[in-house]
Structure 1
Amino acid sequence: MLMPTVRQLLGLLCISLFFTASAIAEPCQDYTEVKRPLYGDLHVHSSYSFDSYISSQRNDPREAYRYGKGEAITLPDADGKQAVRAQIQRPLDFMAVTDHAEFLGPIHVCTQDSSKLGYWFPACIATRSSFFILQLLAADYWVNLGVAGSGKEKESSFACTLSDCDAAEKSAWDNIQKATADFNDACKFTTFVGYEYTDAPEFNNLHRNVIFRNEKVTDLPISAYDTGSYNFPKLWQLLRKECLEGKPGCDVMSIPHNPNLSGGLMFPDPKTPQEANDRLTFEPVVELIQHKGASECRFDRLAGRGAATADEACDFEQIKNDSLAMLGSVAGEVRTLEADPVAIDDFGRRNMVRNVLKDGTRLEQDTGQNPFKMGFIGSTDTHSATPGAAEEDNYPGHLGRRDAGYRNIQDHFSSNAGGLAVVWAEQNTRDAVFDAIRRKETYATSGTRPTLRFFGGWNLASDLCENPDMIRTAYANGVPRGGDLPAATEGSPRFLVAASKDPGPPGRIGTDLQRLQIIKGWTDAEGNTHEQVFNVAGGDTGATVNPKSCAPEGAGFASLCTVWQDPTFRADENAFYYVRLLENPTCRWSTLQCKSAGVDPFSANCAVQAKKATAAAKDEGAWGEDVYGKCCLDPEKEPFYSPIIQERAWSSPIWYSATKAPSK
């Protein structure tokens, strides 16, 4: 047998590497140039997060990925026993586990190795305890240690003087990366390495989810300990230094989430041009909806007016206050003073993303640059390792035992089932999904899965909906959501909007569509911002729900498509446009869970039923005097709540710039 020479071996190795690389780069079998919708969740906490672990939640990142793929996992019940089987009805296409960077090391010390001295630190013992009061004390310890503190510098846990928290953090970070790599399945299920940057001074939410493109990541998560409080721009600086410029192949974004609870602090005017550029570089999208409310816009039905809006559809899933103190409810009573309701006139304008977008058009008029060009996604913010658990009829809660069983109604009634992130991508791979988010070709949903297309341009034909090659033509003659219209020509821009209803999970038909709306925001020549809602397809179908069964009554639309031309367009005004899709009415998760407990929100005898259900729950060990009383809230006396909701989706905007001609 002839032995190959060294040169021949090297040649064979090069050929092998070439074909291996080619195989890796080979498109997926379902690759499509016109893209398809992929549904995901980029805000997921596991037992590696302090607030998940202290809620008796023991599923780690691997279990979270299993759940996202459609497998069943076990959650704690209201007593903290691992006894609840949870499974999503439809698997996700992509996801990221985003455990808190803050306390990642200390929690690892507290929970993983009893041979370490720090494991026996009193706060660690309370963290591991199954006794509810001790868990609440542990929660208070961790929150006040730094997450919600107002100091410029964060404090470290005393457990770190007893054990090496740096080594523990590195171990946890390595475990997260390993789990993410193990569950990434190109073309089938995409996973991203990520974490949450958690700064909440005075309970004002300034959180971001940091998502990496691939396995090239920072050596450790960059946390609020590294930046100090009130200083998220430094997060961008450090990500640039340690990732974009400091590590070949590293790419990253940070996603601000639920600004409705930020006390108006999430989106300040940039202090410098560099800060504006960093925001545009690192924050292409914003989380528009999650368990702790919707952040599109705000309308108070009782006051009859909104936060810089007259749009009555903006009453959807609003929280009564404007900070994370809304989480301080125990045994049916709010225990934090900061959780008092905030009047509509006192509510921070930029807590709502629509107002941020409007202010961006004004800033562009003043400075020539719009720092607030953000697309939309939704996610869950689950702390139960249940990514995508946004189904109203299959909602297990999102905070371990603290909203399991009866506690979901008692303490987390104002929370919603969460949302989903949807991207239009050529295929289900890390690069394709990441690139779709980077170019803002995304939309958010309140948990259902309708499809939604949105294009803008100057030359879109009015009969484009009848074109069998509609989408290719729209890409060729316009820009998709997240894009910028080219410089104005004669006339006004046209927009293609096309949507199809959610087909529904196995065994259940999805909800019909009701209407499609285009929301326009702009700044006039005097520097005043405006908004207008246009109904462009569909309309009030008269559909409702059966109050006894919650079954839908009345038909809507399986699909809607239209080409709409802006009748108010002015070439000298900066503007943006996005689509809001509304489904026919359905029952809220709380309505379904109240009914399952024998309490009917639609019944004249609701209060009597609630007392009976409360007595039965207390006989089983429930805390609190009025466990099911919230089921009987009168929507006529509530500014936001209704037992019936309209699930919805929001497309990323398309922008028009009057100050300069953006590239197409």
Structure 2
Amino acid sequence: MNKTSLAPLKRLSNIAATLTLSAFCVSALASDKGEYTEDREACSQYSITKRPLFGDLHIHSRLSFDSYLSSQRNGPDEVYNYAKGLPLTLPGANGEQTVIAQIDRPLDFAALTDHGEFLGQVDACQNPDSILGKLWPMCMMSRAQNLWVQLIAASWWTRLGGQTTGEPSPSNVCLFEDCDGRQISVWNEVQDAAERHYDRSSDCSFTTFVGYEYTDASNQNNLHRNVIFRNEHTTKAPISIYETGQSVVELWTQLEEQCIKGDEGCDVLAIPHNSNLSGGMMFKDPKTPDELRLRRSMEPLVELVQHKGASECRFDRLSGRGVDTTDELCDFEQIPADNLHMLGSVEGEMRSDRGEEVSIDDFARRNMIRNVLKDGVALRSKLGENPFQFGFIGSTDTHSATAGGAQEKGYVGHLGRRDSEYRNVQDHFVSNPGGHAVVWAEENARDAIFEAMRRRETYATSGTRPIVRFFGGDYPADACTAVNRAELGYGKGVPMGAVIESAELNGPARFLVYAQKDAGTATHPGYDLQRIQIIKGWADAEGNTHEQVFEVAGNPNNGATVDPNSCAAVGSGYSELCTVWEDPKFKADENAFYYARVVENPSCRWSTLQCLDAGVNPFSDQCEEQSLAASEKAREEQGASGEVYKNCCRSAENEAFYSPVIQERAWTSPIWIQSAL
């Protein structure tokens, strides 16, 4: 056994995870495994040059109000079993438990992140002890099977969480039920489930993290964070908006006080997600030096993609303009609205004005992470530190307990009955299956994965599983032919997520990037790669921000497409791509960041596959007639209402963002090059 004194690996307030080129090259390939911050066996598989581990750090079970009242009844154990490859039973569109789901491949790690505010209250409604608790209207509506009653309950819950115009306030059911006691009890249940499914043996087959979601969304502007603890040492209870008010800074402060400073062995991260739905509120300039310090230390990562859309960048095909970008690939999985009212479609109709499309001119720049990164390098000169130095991950945000269920084919939805079966195409057409969080770690254990997240050696995928590496430093032109490119990558530079001081470079910045296609499964092989791009963002001497997309490997015009009748791949791409690229516009006195975007050949979107399964071909001239027939069948046989399959016939020519054909992708965490202050 490799045991320790449980002394945490504390970080300095100036974020010691920021790595310089010289410091990293010295220590990157050190062979000492070090000590664990927990009691466990050493992993039999350990790699100095690290290996990619695929996970999901955003998962909801029946312990979340919006999962439970959508007729979803699977709990923490079922979440982890599904993540490990076992089948799961889910509600159909009518709320009956009839849908069988199974992930295409097991995950390496996962974290259950139910809404921290409501753990006790949801339990009180699910399992009331008193007569008044059983008869409390909100709880009765949450347990109901009628869809419209469930939606009224959802509105009630969001008001309690301060997500409308009022302040957060617990439900009055807590006058009759011990919500505080239940909060602790359910939090312990979450921790116990994580422990049961964590493989502490030398096999290291599956890793769990204890976590929860902090759910701040004033007026439905999303400011949510997933709080992930390093090991079994956690706060006594989730720190929620009831403890912090609607202040993310107070969340960071209390996590630092109660966990990092307050509990021997405790360490924690907060991961923001869906800045695309934040109404421009998620990433504001820090008001004080302490706020700057807390943001840098508590939030090294951002969730770039999940089922409520992608937050990299935004480009409107119809207007030919973007939100501070001309990058045409920024039309990928964009949500029309800029707030959580995007979920307001019922029976094919958007029921909220705020759920309608927001124009390019009215869409906040900092809803998009690339713009946040650009502003960060500009702010460094003013603040002395970059407040927005984020690595990238993806996840699902499933509310159906389907951890890692991000595949397009066989996608069963992520919100219980509300997007199950035909309701997925009808009401959640703009959503998507989500993505994966990928870390480069020495072994599949909590410490190694958490440290990878801390140093930002991570990347996001849109749901497939390509293997991607990205290094910056000083590489020879023939680095792609090296016997061990990883050793060369670490030995001559730094990996994704790190920082290079420009004074350390002997000339322009050079990058080594390579990717292998998703191998897929025996029944569903992965798609070929089409190209690798490097995206650069920088601030000039006057503080103005810029970006440029460079095509560095592959062929964007390879002619690959899909068969319009079967969605089978047509044409070929690459099983592997590799290149060494030098920035032709490098200036040592500018602050800049670079990240790689790996793009696959075209494939059919999940909605296209489901439309075809229903007998509606989005590519066909007879699509409208097929849609009417399929909708009539759904009304007769499944009790559906409205024009169920009308969305299938939407045309990419008339849509700002939607297309029946997509290109799956991966985004590496950036590498920053910063000049002397």
TM-score by length of 1: 0.95
Q: Give the distance between the partners of 2:218 and 2:73, measured in 1 at CA.
A: 28
User: Paired residue for 2:363?
Assistant: 347
User: Paired residue for 2:514?
Assistant: 498
Q: Give the distance between the partners of 1:144 and 1:22, measured in 2 at CA.
A: 40
Q: List aligned pairs for 1:197-236, cutoff 5 A.
A: 197-229=214-246, 231-236=247-252
User: Paired residue for 1:439?
Assistant: 455
Q: Which runs of 5+ in 2 are unaligned?
A: 5-34
Q: Does 1:638 align with 2:655?
A: yes
Q: Does 1:358 align with 2:378?
A: no
Q: Give the distance between the partners of 1:26 and 1:194, measured in 2 at CA.
A: 23
- Partner SS for 2:98: strand
Q: Give the distance between the partners of 1:36 and 1:21, measured in 2 at CA.
A: 18
* 1:272 positional shift: 0.6
Q: Does 1:554 align with 2:571?
A: yes
- Tell me which moved more, 382-391 or 126-135: 126-135
User: Paired residue for 1:337?
Assistant: 353
Spell out structure 1 runs of 4+ moving beyond 6 A: 20-23
Q: List aligned pairs for 1:231-630, cutoff 5 A.
A: 231-457=247-473, 459-488=474-503, 489-540=505-556, 541-630=558-647
- Closer/same/farther in 2, CA of residues 626 and 568 from structure 1, 3 Å limit: same
Q: Give the distance between the partners of 1:343 and 1:587, measured in 2 at CA.
A: 27
User: Paired residue for 1:156?
Assistant: 170
Q: Give the distance between the partners of 1:52 and 1:350, measured in 2 at CA.
A: 29
Q: Give the distance between the partners of 1:23 and 1:264, measured in 2 at CA.
A: 40
1:512-543 per-residue CA deviation (whole Å, 9 max, x = no partner) reads: 00000000000001110000000000012110
The structure number with the bigger radius of gyration is 1
TM-score by length of 2: 0.93
User: Paired residue for 1:166?
Assistant: 180
Q: Give the distance between the partners of 1:116 and 1:171, measured in 2 at CA.
A: 21
Q: Does 1:192 align with 2:209?
A: yes
Q: Give the distance between the partners of 2:97 and 2:252, measured in 1 at CA.
A: 39
Q: Give the distance between the partners of 1:104 and 1:275, measured in 2 at CA.
A: 28
Contact 2:129 2:177 in 1 (8 A): no
* 1:146 positional shift: 2.1
Question: RMSD over aligned Cα, in angstroms?
Answer: 1.6
* 1:236 positional shift: 0.1
Contact 1:293 1:415 in 2 (8 A): yes
* 1:267 positional shift: 0.3
- Partner SS for 1:598: coil
- Tell me which moved more, 309-318 or 538-547: 538-547
User: Paired residue for 1:3?
Assistant: none
Contact 2:614 2:630 in 1 (8 A): yes
Contact 2:327 2:549 in 1 (8 A): yes
Contact 1:114 1:120 in 2 (8 A): no
Q: Which amino acid aligns with 1:415?
A: S
Q: Which amino acid aligns with 1:159?
A: V
* 1:114 positional shift: 4.6
- Tell me which moved more, 498-507 or 108-117: 108-117
Aligned-residue identity in percent = 58
* 1:22 positional shift: 12
1:235-281 per-residue CA deviation (whole Å, 9 max, x = no partner) reads: 00000111001111000000000110000111000011111110111
* 1:620 positional shift: 2.1
- Partner SS for 2:81: helix
- Partner SS for 1:85: strand
Picking from 161, 186, 195, the partner of 1:181 is 195
Q: List aligned pairs for 1:46-65, cutoff 5 A.
A: 46-65=61-80
Q: Give the distance between the partners of 2:37 and 2:512, measured in 1 at CA.
A: 37
Contact 1:377 1:445 in 2 (8 A): yes
- Tell me which moved more, 139-148 or 63-72: 139-148
Q: Which amino acid aligns with 1:131?
A: N
Q: Which amino acid aligns with 2:305?
A: I
Contact 1:89 1:506 in 2 (8 A): no
1:303-325 per-residue CA deviation (whole Å, 9 max, x = no partner) reads: 10100000000000001110000
* 1:490 positional shift: 3.7
Q: Give the distance between the partners of 1:506 and 1:139, measured in 2 at CA.
A: 41
Q: Which amino acid aligns with 1:343?
A: S
Q: Does 1:132 align with 2:147?
A: yes
- Closer/same/farther in 2, CA of residues 212 and 116 from structure 1, 3 Å limit: farther
* 1:469 positional shift: 2.1
Q: Which amino acid aligns with 1:562?
A: T
* 1:641 positional shift: 0.2
- Partner SS for 2:378: helix
Q: Which amino acid aligns with 2:403?
A: P
Q: Give the distance between the partners of 1:198 and 1:25, measured in 2 at CA.
A: 33
- Closer/same/farther in 2, CA of residues 315 and 162 from structure 1, 3 Å limit: same
Contact 1:43 1:96 in 2 (8 A): yes
- Tell me which moved more, 446-455 or 126-135: 126-135
How many aligned residue pairs are there? 640
- Closer/same/farther in 2, CA of residues 282 and 548 from structure 1, 3 Å limit: same
Q: Give the distance between the partners of 2:134 and 2:370, measured in 1 at CA.
A: 46
* 1:112 positional shift: 2.1
Q: Does 1:81 align with 2:96?
A: yes
* 1:134 positional shift: 1.4
* 1:474 positional shift: 1.3
- Partner SS for 1:238: helix
Q: Give the distance between the partners of 2:177 and 2:621, measured in 1 at CA.
A: 59
Contact 2:36 2:447 in 1 (8 A): no
Q: Which amino acid aligns with 1:578?
A: Y
Q: Which amino acid aligns with 2:632?
A: A
Q: Give the distance between the partners of 1:490 and 1:113, measured in 2 at CA.
A: 68
Q: Give the distance between the partners of 1:22 and 1:581, measured in 2 at CA.
A: 35
- Partner SS for 1:237: helix
Q: Give the distance between the partners of 1:146 and 1:510, measured in 2 at CA.
A: 41
Q: Give the distance between the partners of 1:181 and 1:311, measured in 2 at CA.
A: 44
Q: Give the distance between the partners of 1:26 and 1:146, measured in 2 at CA.
A: 41
